[in-house]
Structures are given as C-alpha cells and as structure tokens.
C-alpha cells in the first residue's frame, strides 16, 4: 500500500498567448490503499493530471510524491515503475502488431528472470483479469473492447505497481461491458490492496468504486471529501450541479426518490424544483485558455455574483480549499449541516 500525493502541481502547455494551464496548483492525496475518484467535465484537466502522475507529461510546477518521496527518485530506486496508468481507449492503447502476451510481457518487472518464469508471469496476470492464459498468443484485433481493456489492465499490473491510475477506462465501452470492467477494478483493488486514482466524467461510476471523491473544474480541485459525505452534502455549487445531472434511483429516478412523476410522465431532475437563475442557466463552459478571474466558476455559479450582486469577491479573489482534506473551494460554500449525513442530497439554499 502506497500513497500518491500531488503538491501544488501545475501543468502548462504551449507558450505565451497560446499557453494553456491544464492543471493549476493541484493538491491531492490518494491515501494508501484507497480509491480516489476524480470527476470533472472535458477540459477540466483530469487526464492531464493522470499523465503527470506517471511522468508522461512534464510538470511545470509543484511535485508528485510517491510514499513521501518525489516521484523521480522513487523511479530511480526501483527496478519497477510503482505508478501505472490504464488508458481510456482500449483500441489505441494496445500495439496492433504485438501479441497480447508480448504486450503484457514487455511490462513484466525485470525482477522476473528467465523465459519460462516470464511466460508464467504473463499467464498469471491474464488470469488475474479473467482472461484464459491461451489468449497470450492473440492479437488485439481478435479481441472485443472489454477484453482489450482487461489486457491493458493486466499490462499495467505487470509492473507490480502500488498505485494504479485509471483514466476513463469504461467510457469507450458499451454499457453491458462496462459492468464487467468495473467489477474487475473493484476486485483488484481489494485483492491486491492497490491505491487507485480513478478518473471518470460519470459521477455514478466514480461513486461506485471510490472511497474519496475529488471534483475538478478548469484545472483546479474545487471539492474533496469522503464519497458518502461529499455526495450527501455537496458544498461546492459545481459539485451540486454535477450531482443534479447524474442519474439516480434506477432508470426511473427522475428526481429525488420521493418526487412524484409529473403529468408528462417525468420531470428532469431536482434542479427543476430548485429554480435555476436565468443568468446562469445557459452559461457556456469557460474557455480554458482564458480562465475567468477570481473564482473560475463564477460565470456559471447559481450562488455567485451573477445571482447575488453583492458577492463581488467571487470575481476578484480565488477561493482556496484546505489542502489534503475535505473542503470546498468556494467563498460561499454550503456549510455542513449538523448531524449525520443523510442518504440523499438536499438542495442547499
């Protein structure tokens, strides 16, 4: 069990006018042996953070620590790479000209010596992801999307990582396949006692596998907390918006579970009950090249200056979240209500 910690990590692409700060001073900890889910919309920087965690994207500021050591040093000391990444698209993450066995075998730790031992290791890894060992001789083109994603997971496990970063690993799969991969991830986490950073745009999927949830918006973490608490009592308005957009209570869960289906047979979501101010209802997602001043969420915020004119501070000052522990980066975050967290969220005024 190992801990992965981001400290003030910034990733910048391009120079001058074309500069894009994809990840901006992110503090995030994946505690040893737990799964941290990272949610956010496209362009929020979640995938960049994942690539930075494994050293694929150079970090422009801050540092990534593995078990308290800067990542580079952690790599130098070991014969293996302790942090591994599983990619989103199983169709491009496997070399089409390499057999499954060769792809996985290439990543097998150098500590395993000898041809037979390595072959046995590949067979063991394939079995670990529920693939028959004789699949080692197959090529990616002969496998289905779900099977490819299993191979990709096996390859990541081959390096005997202690932290696994999963970047949208189910979003390219059909719904009937998605479940098998999610189950596998859960089982692997339990049996191998891996720490995981699980990235997805789907809050329901993140909730299903994670112990903690971090919410990312335009390169910043805006809220972090234990999954049950955060979903029961979202404090950042963006988290609340994400939550409102997520499906719940079976297919028919159209609102709060107690909501009566409307005369049309269905309402959209609880936000319909909570009137959304017109000023922000159709606000466009901000351009990551030109992040808004102050709080980045303010042009879309239902509790921000567009609705409450006196809240000018949102335009000028960027709110900060307490690092490494539960909190929301919002000047007007909903305060946690006293008492135990409830099962389902209530709109917070």
Partner 1 sequence: MRARSTWRDVLRTPLGAAATVLLAAVLVLAVVAPPIWSARADAPDTGQILAGPSPAHWMGTDSLGRDILARVLVATRLSVELALAATGIGVLIGLLLGTAPLLLGARVGRLVLAAVNIAVAFPGLLLALFFAVIFGVGRTGALLAIGFAIAPGFARLTQTLTARVAGLDFAAAARIAGVGRFRLFLRHVLPNVGEPLVVNATIAAGNALLAFAGLSFLGLGVQPPGYDWGRLLGDGLGGIYVHPAAALAPGVAVVVAGLAFNLFGEALAKTIGPRGPLPAGRRRPQRPAPVPAASPPAGGETVLDVRDLRVAFPGPVTPVRGVDLTIRRGEAVGLVGESGSGKSLTALAVAQLVEEPGEVRAERLELLGTDLTAGPVRARRRLLGTSLAMVFQDPMTSFNPTMRVGRQLAEVARTHQGMNRRQALARAVDRLRAVRIPAAARRAGQFPHEFSGGMRQRAMIGMGLMGSPALVIADEPTTALDVTVQRRVLRLLADIRAADGVALLLISHDITVVGQVCDRVLVMYAGRVVEELTVAELRAGGRHPYTRALLAAVPDLTTDRHAPLAVIPGRPADPADPAPGCAFAPRCGFADERCARADPPLAVDGTGRRVACWHTERVARAADPATRPAADPADLAAADPVAGLAGPGPGPAPGPGNSDEREVRIGDQS
Using CA atoms, how far apart are residues 32 and 4, in angstroms rounded to an integer?
8
Size of the site for partner 1 (CB under 8 A): 91
Binding residues for partner 1 restricted to 259-278, rule: CB under 8 A = 261, 264-266, 268-269, 271-272
Which residue's CB is nearer to partner 1, number 25 or number 255? Answer: 255
**Interacting residues of 191 by C-beta distance below 8 A, sequence separation 6+:** none
Under 8 Å CB-to-CB from 167, ≥6 apart: which residues? 46, 47, 50, 51, 85, 86, 87, 88, 199
Binding mask 156-175 for partner 1 (x = CB under 8 A): x-xx--------------xx
Which residues in the 300-339 window bind partner 1 by CB under 8 A?
none
Read off the DSSP letter of residue 136: G
Report if residue 245 touches partner 1, rule: CB under 8 A: yes
Smallest gap from Cβ 5 to partner 1, in A, equals 19
- Binding segment toward partner 1, per CB under 8 A, in 12-20, 26-34, 49-57, 218-226: 49-57
Q: Identify which of residues 110 and 310 has a Cβ nearer to partner 1 in the complex.
A: 110
Residue with tokens 């050591």: 69
Check binding of 346 to partner 1 (CB under 8 A).
Answer: no
Given the complex with partner 1, which of 168 and 318 has the nearer CB atom?
Answer: 168
Query: Which helix or strand (DSSP H or E) is residue 184 part of?
Result: helix 175-192
Cβ neighbours around 111 below 10 Å, total:
11
Per CB under 8 A, does 7 bind partner 1? Answer: no
Neighbours of 203 (CB within 10 A): 21
Q: Provide the minimum distance between the beta carbon of 153 and partner 1 in the complex, in angstroms, as a whole number.
A: 11
Q: Between 106 and 313, name the residue whose CB sits nearer to partner 1.
A: 106
The least distance separating partner 1 from the CB of residue 252, rounded to whole angstroms, comes to: 3
Distances in Å between the Cα of 273 and the Cα atoms of 97, 151, 235, 269, 342 are 54, 45, 19, 8, 19
Distance (Å, rounded) from C-alpha 236 to C-alpha 300? 12
Site string for partner 1, 75-114 (x = CB under 8 A): -----xx--xx-xxx--xxxxxxx----x--xx--x----
Alpha carbons within 13 angstroms on the beta-carbon side of residue 318 total 15
Of 25 and 213, CB closest to partner 1 = 213
Q: Which residues contact 157 (CB under 8 A, 6 or more apart)?
A: 84, 125, 128, 129, 164, 188, 192
229 sits near partner 1 (criterion: CB under 8 A) = no
Return the number of the residue (23 or 172) whose C-beta is nearest partner 1: 172
Residue 186 makes contact with partner 1 by CB under 8 A = yes
Q: Map the footprint of partner 1 across residues 132-151, applying CB under 8 A.
A: 132, 135, 141-144, 146-147, 150
198, 35 Cβ separation under 8 angstroms: yes
246 touches partner 1 (CB under 8 A)? yes
């Amino acid at each position: 069990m190992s801990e992965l910690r981001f400290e003030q990590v910034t990733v910048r692409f391009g120079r001058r006018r074309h500069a894009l700060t994809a990840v901006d001073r992110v503090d995030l900890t994946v505690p040893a042996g737990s799964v941290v889910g990272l949610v956010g919309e496209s362009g929020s920087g979640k995938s960049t953070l994942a690539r930075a965690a494994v050293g694929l994207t150079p970090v422009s500021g801050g540092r990534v620590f593995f078990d308290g050591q800067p990542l580079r040093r952690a790599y130098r000391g070991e014969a293996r790479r302790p942090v591994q990444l599983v990619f989103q698209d199983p169709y491009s993450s496997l070399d089409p000209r390499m057999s499954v066995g060769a792809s996985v075998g290439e990543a097998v730790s150098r500590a395993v010596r000898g041809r037979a031992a390595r072959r046995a290791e590949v067979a063991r890894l394939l079995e670990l992801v529920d693939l028959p060992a004789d699949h080692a001789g197959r090529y990616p083109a002969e496998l289905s999307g779900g099977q490819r994603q299993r191979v990709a997971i096996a390859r990541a496990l081959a390096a005997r990582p202690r932290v696994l970063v999963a970047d949208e690993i189910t979003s390219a799969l059909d719904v009937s396949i998605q479940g098998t991969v999610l189950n596998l991830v859960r089982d692997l986490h339990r049996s191998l006692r891996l720490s995981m950073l699980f990235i997805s745009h789907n809050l329901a999927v993140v909730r299903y596998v994670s112990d903690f949830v971090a919410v990312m918006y335009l390169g910043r973490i805006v809220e972090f907390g234990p999954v049950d608490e955060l979903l029961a009592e979202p404090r950042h308005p963006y988290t609340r918006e994400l939550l409102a957009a997520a499906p719940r209570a079976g297919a028919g869960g159209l609102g709060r579970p107690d909501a009566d289906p409307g005369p049309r047979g269905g309402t959209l979501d609880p936000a319909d009950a909570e009137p959304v101010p017109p000023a922000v209802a159709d606000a466009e997602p901000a351009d990551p090249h030109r992040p808004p001043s102050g709080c980045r969420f303010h042009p879309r915020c239902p509790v921000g200056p567009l609705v409450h004119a006196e809240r000018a501070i949102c335009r000028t000052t960027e709110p900060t979240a307490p690092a490494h522990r539960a909190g929301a980066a919002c000047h007007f975050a909903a305060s946690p209500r006293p008492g135990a967290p409830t099962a389902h969220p209530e709109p917070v005024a």
